[in-house]
């Protein structure tokens, strides 16, 4: 199955160490992240307790066959995940974007 992936490593304490690993073209990252955030908007409130970490890792997988997202995250809460993704979208021009390792 064809898919693309964006892995966000978001450093809460040392923001300059935040980075993305991805196989998405740089100019298309914001579009994929925006589609993810829009899809989360209709899912309602997540009452799960957020994990308190210095570094969060959010792995967003987009299945190209049906445009569905799969998320692997250590945030513990969908709202926190979405907030980190939105913050990442705002700073794409200053964070390091690397190929998937």
pLDDT tens digits, residue range 72-99? 999 999 999 999 999 999 999 999 999 9
pTM (2 d.p.): 0.94
Q: Where are the domains of the chain?
A: 3-99
Q: How confident is the model at residue 43 (pLDDT cuts 50, 70, 90)?
A: confident
Q: Please list the residues that pair with 43 across neighbouring strands.
A: none
As a residue count, the chain comes to 101
Q: What pLDDT does residue 1 have? A: 66
Q: What pLDDT does residue 90 have? A: 95
Q: What pLDDT does residue 52 have? A: 97
Residue 100, SS3 per DSSP: coil
């Amino acid at each position: 199955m064809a898919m693309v992936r964006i892995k966000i490593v978001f450093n809460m304490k040392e923001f300059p160490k935040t980075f993305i690993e991805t196989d998405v073209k740089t100019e298309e990252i914001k579009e994929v992240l925006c589609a993810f955030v829009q899809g989360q908007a209709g899912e309602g409130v997540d009452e799960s307790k957020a994990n308190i970490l210095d570094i969060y890792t959010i792995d967003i997988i987009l299945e190209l066959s049906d445009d569905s997202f799969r998320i692997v995250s250590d945030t513990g809460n969908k709202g926190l995940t979405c907030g980190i993704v939105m913050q990442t979208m705002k700073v794409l021009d200053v964070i390091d974007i690397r190929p998937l390792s």
